[in-house]
Chain A
Amino acid sequence: MAALISLMIAIPLIGAIITFLTRTREQARLVALLASGISLVISLIIFSRFDSSISTIQFGESYPWIASLGVSLKFGVDGIGMPLVLLSNIVIPLTVIFAWGETKEANRFYGLILLELVGVLGVFTSLDFFVFYIFWEIVLIPMYFLISIWGGPRKDYAAIKFFIYTHVASLVMLLAIFSLYFNAWTISGTPSFDMFYLLKNYSVIQSPLLKDAIFLALLFGFIVKMPAVPFHTWLPDAHVEAPTAGSVILAALLLKMGGYGLFRVILPLLPYSGSPAKLITLMAIIGVLSILYGTFLALAQRDLKKMVAYSSISHMGYVTLGAAALIPLSVSGAMYQQFSHGLITCVLFMSCGVIQHSAGTRIIGDLGGIAKHMPKLTFLMLAGFLASLGLPGMSGFIAEFLVLVNSYFTLPTFVILALFGIVFTAGYHLWAMQRAVFGTYNEKLGHIHDGANYEMASMGILILLIIFFGLNPNPVLNMMTTNAQQLLKFVALRGVIT
C-alpha cells in the first residue's frame, strides 16, 4: 500500500467532480459524505501505522512530473503534517453532516467543500515546493466561491477582500520560493523544487540581507494566512459573510496552513537567517500582539460570529508565540494548539450558524435567554465555549498550558504579557454566553426551535473529540514532540538560544 497519500487526495477530487455532476441535493450530499468518509478512513489507516518515535518522512511517494524544471510530485507525512491531515479529514465530513440541509445549488456547494479538502490535504502532505504552492492556491478558489455565492449581504466585498489579501501574500511567498529555487540552482546547476533540499541550501546564501528578505517574505505569506495582527483584517469580514460551512473550513483548516508553514518552513530557516535574534523577537511580538489584540477586539464585538472570528486570531497567536520560543515542548504545544483549535473553533462557528438560522440574528444584544428554547444547542455551545477559554480536561487547555509554561524559559516578558489575555479570554466567552444564551428570554425573538439533529450530531462528535484529546493528548502530541525536538536540534547547534 505505497500510494495511500495520493489515494487520500485523489478520492475527494474524484468525489468533487461527481458531486458537481449530480442533479439532486440528496445525491450531492451523499457523494460528498462518502468521498470525505473514505478519505477519513484512509487517513486513519495512515495514522494507525504511523511511527511516532521517528521524525523522518513516512509514507513517502515520489513521481516525476516536469523534469526539465525539477518539479516532481512528492508526498509524505511526518509529525508536523500528520495531525493536520487527520484534522482535515475529521472536519470536512462533519461539515458535510452539519450542512446536510443546504438547499441552494447543493451540488456546487458540496463539490466546493470537497475541493477544499483536496487543497488542504495537498498543502499538508506536499514535499515539493512547487506542488505545495499549487495546492496553497487551489484552496483559495473554492473558498472565494463559497463566500461569494452562499455568503451574507456584503459577500462581494468580503470575498474579493479575502481573495486579494491572501493572494498577494501568496505571491510574496512565491517570490521567496523562487529565490530559494534559484539559489539552489546556482549551487548545483540542476533545477529542483524539493522542499528539504531548498531549505537546506538556504544556509549557503552569502548576503545576510537577502537571507532576511527571503525569510520575511515567507513569514509574511504564512502569517497573513494565520492570520496574525496586523495582517488580520480580511478574516472578520470573510467570517461574518461566509456561510457556516465556509467559516468552519476557513477557521479550522485554512488558518492552519499558515501555522503549518511556520513549522515546516520558517523554523528550519530561522537559525540560519541573517539576524535570528531580531526575527525571534519579531515573531514573539506578532504572537503576543495577536493574542492581546484579538482578545480585546473579541470583547468589544456585538456580533457573536465576529467575536468568534477575533477569538481565532487570539488563539492562533499562541501558535506564533510557541513557535518563536524555540523550546521543544513550546513548539509541540503550538502544534497541538493548531490541532485543538481546529476542533474547538468548528463548534463555535457551528453554534453561531445554528443561532443565526433559528433566531434570525447573531447580534448578542438582540438575543437572550435562548437556552430555554434551545437546550441541546446550549449544552454543546457551552462545552465549546469552555473548551475555547481553556478549561482543564479539554484539548485547548493542554495546548495553551504547554505554550505558556515552556515559552517562559526563553521569552518571559512576552509570556507575562500574554497571561493578561487569558483573563479577558475567559471574560468575553462567559460574558457572551451570559448575555446571548442565559438570562431572561427576549420575547421579540418569537418562537425559536432547537438545532436540527444532524447539526447537533456533528457538534456532539466534535465535543467528544475535544474531551478525548484533552484527557489523552499522547496519540498526536508524541509525534509532534518528536518532530519539534528534531527541528530544535539544529537551532541549538547554531547557538541561537542558550
Chain B
Amino acid sequence: MNYNLLAPEILLTLLALVVIILGLLMKETSKNMLGYVSAAGLLASIVYILGNGMNEAASFFYNSLTVDPLSQVFKLIFLIVSLIVVIASIEYFRDNRNQDEYYALLLLATVGMMVVASANDLVALFVGFELASMSTYVLAGFEKKNPSSLEAALKYFIIGSLSSALMLFGMSLVYGITGSTNIPAIIEFFKSNPMVATSSLDIVAMIFLVAGFGFKMALVPFHMWAPDTYEGSPSVVSSLLAAGSKKMGFVAAFRVLVLALVAIRIDLQMTFAILAIITMTYGNVVAISQRSIKRMLAYSSIAQAGYISLAFVVTTQMSIAGGILLALGHALMKGGAFLAVALVGYMVLSDNKNAKNTDDLGNFAGLGKRAPITAFSLFVFFLALAGIPPSAGFVGKFVLFYSITVAAINQASSWLLIVVIIAILNSALSIYYYARVIKYMYVLPPNGEKIKEPVPYVVAILLAVIGTIGIGLYPEPFIQMAINAAKVLGV
C-alpha cells in the first residue's frame, strides 16, 4: 500500500503533537512562532495535494479510507480554510498564553475533517466527525472569560452531541440491516436486495442519517445552534466553523446519502427540495433583521447551505459538481468575511478596550475610509455571496441552477423549474442585507481615525479575495475538478 497519499494527514497529526510539546517548552512570548509553524505545515499539505494531482485513486486500511478526486477537493477546501484561519489567528491570539493548544486543536480539527472527506466506512466517518467536533467544541469556547463564547461552546457541544448520537443510531440501524459498515458494501447490499432497501426500518435509518448530517450542515430545522455559536465564538473560530467544519456534513452527505439514494431509489426529490427551499428562505429572511454582522453571516450561511443542498434534489453529475463548487466558493467567501469581521473587532477594541458587541452594524460605518483593504474585501465577499459575477459564488450558483434547469427539462417537470425560480428570487433577496452593510461601509461617515490594518489579517483576507475572484474569472479548471469529483459517486 502506498501511504504517500496520506502524507498530509500524517504530517498534520504529527505537527499537532509537536506544537503541543513545543508549547510546553517555549516561553509565552515566543509562542507566536507556533502559528507560523502550523501555517507552514498546512501550506506544505496543500502543495503536496496539488503536486500529486487531484485524480489519484487508492484505498487504505481495509478500504475504510479512500483517496479519490472527491476527497481531494474537500481536503483542499479544509486545508485552505485552516490556512487562512491560522494566518489570521497569528494576530488574533497574539498575546494569548494558550496559543499552543489553540494551534494544536485547530490542526487536529483539520485532520478530523480530512478523515471525513476520505472516509469510505461508517466507522471511519464517525471517528473523523468526532475528532473534528471535539476539537472545535473547545475552540468555540476558547475565550474562556467571555460569557458569550462559553454559551456558544456549550450550545454547540450539546447540539453537536445530540446530532452525533442521531447519526450513530442511524449508522447502527444500517449496520443491522446490511451487516457491514463499509459504504460500497452497503450500497451493493441494497442493490441486490431491493426489498430490504425499501423497508420501513431502512427509511427510519435514512431519516436518522439525514437528521445527523443536517445538524452538521445547519439545514432548517436542524440549524438552531449555528447563529448563537457563530456569534459567540472568537471570530476566527467562527470562520473555521462556517467555512470549514460545515462542509464536513456536505461531503459526508455526498458520499452516504447520494449513494444510498441512488441505490434505494426512494423518491426523495420533493423532500430535499422542500428542505432546501425552507432553509434558504428562512436564512435569507431572518438575516435581514440582524444588526450583529456575525449573526447575519450565520444566517446567510444557513441560506447558502440551502442552495448547496439543492444538489441532492436532482443528484446528477452536474448538480453535485455545482454543490461542490458552491461549497468551495462558500468556504472562501464566508471564511474571508468572518476574518474581516475579526479585523473590525480588532479596530473597535483599539478605539475602546471595553467595547462590547464589536460586530455591531454601527461599527462598520465609514469602514471604507478607516480600513480600506478590509472594506473592499468585504465588498467583494458580499457581492460574491449574493452571487454577482464574476465571483466564485456566482460560478457555484450558476452551475447548480443550470443543472437543475437541465434536469427539469429532461424530466419535463415544471415544479423543478419553480424550485430554481425560488432559489434565484432568494439570491435577489439576499442582496438587500448585503447592500445595507456596503452602504454603511462606503456611504456613511466614519466614527474614528484610519487604522493600520495588521499584516496577518490582510494576508489571510486577501488570499480569500484572490480565491473568490480567481475562481470567478477563470472557472473552467475548477468546474472540471468538481465534475471529476462528482464522477466518483457514479451517479
Query: What is the interface of chain A, defined by CB distance below 8 A to chain B?
Result: 64-69, 134, 137, 145, 148-149, 156, 163, 167-168, 171, 175, 178, 182, 185-186, 191
Contact = CB atoms under 8 A, between A and B. Distances in A.
Nearest to A145: B442
Contacts of A145: 442-443
Given A134-B389, A168-B428, A182-B409, 6 more contacts: A64-B476, A67-B476, A68-B480, A171-B424, A182-B405, A182-B406
B191 interface: no
A145 B483 CA distance: 39
6 closest A-B pairs by beta carbon, nearest first, are A68-B479, A148-B443, A134-B389, A66-B475, A67-B476, A66-B476
Given A145-B442, A185-B406, A68 B476 contact: yes
Q: Which secondary structure characterizes the binding site on chain B?
A: helix
Q: Which secondary structure characterizes the binding site on chain A?
A: helix
Contacts of A171: 424, 428
5 contacts: A68-B480, A134-B389, A148-B439, A149-B443, A182-B406
A68 B405 CA distance: 15
B402 interface: yes
Interface string B419-452: 0010010001001000100010011000000000
Contact of B405 (A66, A137, A178): A178
B332 interface: no
Nearest to B399: A69
Nearest to A163: B435
A137 B480 contact: no
Contacts of A67: 476
Contacts of A69: 398-399, 402, 479
Nearest to B425: A171
Contacts of A167: 428, 431
A137 B443 CA distance: 20
A193 to B, nearest CB: 11
Residue among B399, B421, B476, B479 facing the most chain A CB atoms (10 A cut-off): B476
B390 interface: yes
Contacts of B480: 68
B388 interface: yes
Interface string B382-410: 00000011100001001100100110010
Interface in B286-308: none
Contacts of B483: 68
Contacts of B409: 182, 185-186
Contact of A149 (B402, B424, B435, B442): B442
Contacts of B435: 163
A141 to B, nearest CB: 8
A448 to B, nearest CB: 31
A167 B389 CA distance: 14
Contacts of B424: 171, 175
A234 to B, nearest CB: 16
Contacts of B476: 64-68
Contacts of A66: 395, 475-476, 479
A145 B375 CA distance: 15
A186 B407 CA distance: 11
A171 to B, nearest CB: 6
